[in-house]
């Protein structure tokens, strides 16, 4: 535990000295914030009701959280390719401490960006509500660990930076366009809405929209928190199984099977959601709150 904490502090220090980290973890999320709340919100249907801002803030936070898998996968592959990991390997440090320190440092570095997004949304874009901050915190926490662990898995099954970038791009595109993070879920074709039920990103986006727009309490976010929590635990366990110190250590078939098994919780949850769940109807209900005809804007106090 002591090693994990020492490594966490070092990783945070290194991240803050890294320009790429600052760009991807601060500049880019804030650019998304200005794009969504400053530009897209103006072009939104229904005359831009009071819920449009909170509705669009949710995917901005989701993108910030989802970005964790980019940073961590690239960092781990770089460390392995440069032989940095093998230096730690001859010291009494295990894979658990190495991976846990990545996740914890990433979490502590993501939180301030999320807080800043909330504050800027309030001050610059005059967001009229905070939503349920406990629910947001729970979703951000589970989401950050889950997506960061996915990144660690990607890093463990790829051999080079190029391979990592290709897989990251594919995953990012899927998460971005099929989860409701760019185009709202209720607007997407039915078949995509069905596919979205199997994506971790969908649970994060819809959960955050419910928490920010409708102020949904933590205990009413069962499916979302279960998906992200189970995903986080399972993905961390799998990433520990797959961890490789050396570039020349081959990815075994067993490792590939473990990596493929990461989709299992989302497969099961997707099947349950498609039959009995209320995720799609919840997403629709949140989306409809933006219709000024049904929900007139609150008078200014």
Partner 1 sequence: MSSCVVEVENLVKRYDKVEALRGVSFDVREGEVFGLLGPNGAGKTSTVEILEGLRTPDGGRVAVCGLDPERSGPRFKQEIGAVLQSTALPEKLRVIEALRLFASFYTRRRDPNELLKRFGLEEKRTAFYMHLSGGQKQRLALALALVNEPRVLFLDEPTAGLDPQVRREMYDIIEELKREGKTILLTTHYIEEAERLCDRVAVIDQGKLIALGTPRELKQRSAGTTRIEVRLVKPESDGALQNLDGVADCRESEGTYLLHSTSVPQTIVALVKHLEARGNELASLEIATPSLEDVFIELTGKRLRD
Q: Is 252 one of the binding residues for partner 1 (CB under 8 A)?
A: no
Contacts of 88 (CB under 8 A, 6+ apart): 98, 245
Backbone phi, psi, residue 176, to 5°: -70, -45
The correct pick among 30, 84, 251, 263 for binding partner 1 (CB under 8 A) is 84
Q: Is 1 one of the binding residues for partner 1 (CB under 8 A)?
A: no
Q: Is 94 one of the binding residues for partner 1 (CB under 8 A)?
A: yes
Here's the x/- map for partner 1, 101-120, by CB under 8 A: it reads as --------------------
Q: Is 160 one of the binding residues for partner 1 (CB under 8 A)?
A: no
Closest separation in Å from C-beta 98 to partner 1: 12
Q: Is 254 one of the binding residues for partner 1 (CB under 8 A)?
A: no
A 10 A CB-CB count for 20 gives 11
Radius of gyration (C-alpha) of the chain in whole angstroms: 20
Q: Using the minimum distance from each CB to partner 1, give the nearer residue, 74 or 185.
A: 74
Piece in contact with partner 1 (CB under 8 A), picked from 7-15, 46-54, 105-113, 121-129: 7-15
242 to 163, 201, 265: CA distances (angstroms): 16, 23, 18
Contacts of 166 (CB under 8 A, 6+ apart): none
Total residues contacting partner 1 by CB under 8 A comes to: 23
Cα–Cα distance for residue pair 100/4, rounded to 1 Å: 7
Q: Is 79 one of the binding residues for partner 1 (CB under 8 A)?
A: yes
Closest separation in Å from C-beta 21 to partner 1: 10
CB hemisphere CA count around 290 (13 angstroms):
23
* Residue 256, token pair as written in the block: 């590939």
Q: Is 6 one of the binding residues for partner 1 (CB under 8 A)?
A: yes
The correct pick among 20, 22, 35, 246 for binding partner 1 (CB under 8 A) is 246
The correct pick among 39, 43, 90, 191 for binding partner 1 (CB under 8 A) is 90
A 10 A CB-CB count for 83 gives 12
* Residue 193, token pair as written in the block: 């809405």
Binding residues for partner 1 (CB under 8 A): 2-3, 6-7, 10, 13-14, 17-18, 79, 82-84, 86-87, 89-94, 245-246
């Amino acid at each position: 535990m002591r090693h994990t904490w020492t490594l966490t502090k070092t990783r945070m220090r290194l991240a803050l000295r890294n320009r790429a980290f600052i760009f991807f973890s601060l500049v880019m999320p804030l650019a998304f914030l200005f794009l969504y709340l400053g530009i897209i919100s103006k072009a939104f249907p229904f005359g831009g009701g009071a819920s449009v801002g909170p509705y669009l803030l949710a995917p901005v936070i989701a993108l910030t959280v989802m970005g964790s898998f980019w940073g961590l996968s690239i960092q781990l592959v770089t460390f392995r390719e440069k032989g940095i990991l093998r230096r730690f390997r001859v010291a009494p440090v295990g894979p658990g401490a190495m991976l846990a320190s990545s996740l914890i440092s990433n979490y502590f570095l993501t939180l301030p960006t999320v807080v800043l997004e909330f504050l800027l949304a309030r001050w610059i874009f005059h967001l009229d509500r905070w939503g349920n901050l406990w629910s947001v915190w729970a979703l951000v926490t589970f989401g950050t660990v889950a997506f960061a662990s996915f990144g660690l898995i990607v890093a463990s099954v790829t051999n080079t930076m190029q391979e990592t970038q290709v897989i990251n791009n594919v995953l990012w595109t899927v998460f971005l366009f099929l989860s409701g993070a760019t185009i709202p879920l209720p607007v997407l074709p039915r078949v995509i809405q069905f596919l979205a039920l199997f994506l971790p990103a969908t649970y994060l986006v819809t959960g955050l929209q419910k928490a920010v727009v409708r102020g949904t309490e933590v205990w009413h976010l069962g499916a979302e928190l279960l998906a992200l929590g189970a995903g986080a635990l399972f993905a961390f366990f799998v990433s520990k199984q797959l961890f490789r110190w050396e570039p020349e250590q081959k990815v075994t078939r067993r490792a590939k099977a473990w990596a493929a098994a990461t989709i299992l919780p989302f497969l099961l949850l997707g099947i349950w959601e498609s039959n009995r769940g209320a995720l799609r109807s919840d997403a629709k209900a949140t989306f409809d709150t933006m219709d000024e005809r049904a929900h007139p804007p609150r008078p200014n106090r």
